[in-house]
Amino acid sequence: MSQQQSSFHIATHQIGSGRDRVVFFHGLMGRGKNFTTAAKGLAESHTSLMVDLPNHGESDWTERFDYVEQAELVAAELSRNFASEGPVNLVGHSMGGKLAMTLAVRHPELISRLVIVDMGPSKGQAPDRSKGTDFTHLLGSLKALDLAQVSSRGEAYEILAEPIPSRVVRGFLLQNLVRGDDGFTWQPNLDLLLESLPVIGGEPEYGDGSFGGPMLWMGGAKSDYVREEDAPLMKRLFPQMNKVMIKGAGHWVHSEQPEIFLEVLQYFLANTEAA
């Protein structure tokens, strides 16, 4: 383990007291608590680790965005703590899905079951502003906000109404606006994330590895992120891949269809024959 890995702080908190263990990776501009509803639903059977990924929430920042580097940082954290006694289940959404895929193929010994939510393994689709997934526009709108003139989160919410009409997307993004001693600031590494969007939306360096355990590829039926042309690469990386599409859900499957998401997740994690 490198000195950087041992000193890099990754913020986590746990929910539940079940015997089995599951780790949640959020998407771009998210944080661990985004999966609180699912973790509470699993609380009797699972102990969930909610992770703030690097450059997000209360975790440390990196100097560049690199999926392999971040996978190694998170793998080191899991090896020291949550996965120190054996492999754990891993659920990753969107950007967190690509990070989860990278970690699983590089450190399959840490993972027992893998769930990738609404994200493919290769370069993503062109962003669709009408679906709230154009992060160049979204993050650019946040950066353009003059925080020195913002007196409350509610005021920021109203100012962003024109560039970001979706109330849900605005609320999701504004969870990252925090008040400090000198006024409001963005908690994530906004500048790095904005300039790194081509890398974030690109294909990580998976190498020649693979993850041979049970794997679920879950997508929203109204989303464009799970594409049939990505199936061969997914099958190479994850030979035991199963795919399921959730009706009535777009990109944020776990928040748009929380009950169905939890039901599918519970079944997959509990089904010893799911492969």
Evaluate whether residue 71 is within a structural domain. Answer: yes
Q: Which of 101-110, 111-120, 128-137, 202-211 has the weakest average pLDDT?
A: 128-137
Query: pLDDT above 90 covers what percent of the chain?
Result: 87
Dist CA 193 CA 136 (whole Å): 10
Range of the domain at 30: 3-124+201-270
Dist CA 164 CA 73 (whole Å): 33
Which one of 195, 229, 252 terminates a domain? 195
Which one of 163, 195, 227 terminates a domain? 195
Residues 13 and 74 occupy one common structural domain:
yes
Tracing tokens 């997914």 back to the chain, one arrives at: 234
Q: Check: CB of residue 249 under 8 Å from CB of residue 222.
A: yes
Number of domains in the chain: 2
β 183-186/177-180 pair status: antiparallel
- Residue 210 sits in a domain of what CATH number? 3.40.50.1820
What is the radius of gyration, based on Cα positions, of the chain? 18
Residues 164 and 43 occupy one common structural domain:
no
pLDDT at 127: 56
Local confidence band at 275 (pLDDT 50, 70, 90 cut-offs): very low
Residues 55 and 186 occupy one common structural domain:
no
The catalytic residues are 94, 191, 251
Would the pLDDT of 132 be above 90?
A: no
What ranges in 127-185 are assigned the alpha helix state H? Answer: 135-144, 153-159, 167-174
Residues 60 and 161 occupy one common structural domain:
no
Residues 117 and 136 occupy one common structural domain:
no
Find the mean pLDDT for residues 132-149: 90
Evaluate whether residue 83 is within a structural domain. Answer: yes
Residues 30 and 92 occupy one common structural domain:
yes
Residues 108 and 216 occupy one common structural domain:
yes
Q: Which amino acid is at 83?
A: A
Evaluate whether residue 275 is within a structural domain. Answer: no
User: Among 78, 76, 100, which Cα is nearest to 204's?
Assistant: 100
Dist CA 198 CA 127 (whole Å): 11
Give per-residue pLDDT as tens, 54-70: 999 999 999 999 999 99
Beta bridge partners of 13: 50
Residues 26 and 101 occupy one common structural domain:
yes
Residues 141 and 264 occupy one common structural domain:
no
Evaluate whether residue 17 is within a structural domain. Answer: yes
Which one of 139, 164, 195 terminates a domain? 195
